[in-house]
Amino acid sequence: MSAPTDETVVQTAAEAAEGLVFARFANSAVTDLDITVGFEDGVLDVDVYLNTVDDADADPEAVAHEAIEAAEDAVDDLFA
């Protein structure tokens, strides 16, 4: 089995992060979401910026951190 392409890694990580955010928040609660993913020389770099309405059900910082972890886990699964 060949290793996934860099593009596949980036797309997988971004989709996992976004999926986690929208599993925790309704679309209407998210006012700004920026997911930046890089994969170079075997190193994954994920950054999630999340801003929500003031009365959101969860802590945006905690969810952003969980989204990064979800992205990393999804990429780990690609290489497993």
Domain ranges, ordered by start, for the chain: 6-79
Instruction: Summarize pLDDT for 11-37 with one digit per residue, the tens.
Output: 999 999 999 999 999 999 999 999 999
From CA 28, how far away is CA 17, in angstroms rounded? 18
From CA 65, how far away is CA 52, in angstroms rounded? 14
Q: What pLDDT was estimated at residue 1?
A: 66
Q: What pLDDT was estimated at residue 56?
A: 80
Main-chain phi, psi angles of 78, to 5 degrees = -60, -35
Computed over every residue of the chain, the mean pLDDT equals 95
CATH architecture of 6-79: 2-Layer Sandwich (3.30)
Whether the per-residue pLDDT at 61 is higher than 90: the answer is: yes
Whether the per-residue pLDDT at 71 is higher than 70: the answer is: yes
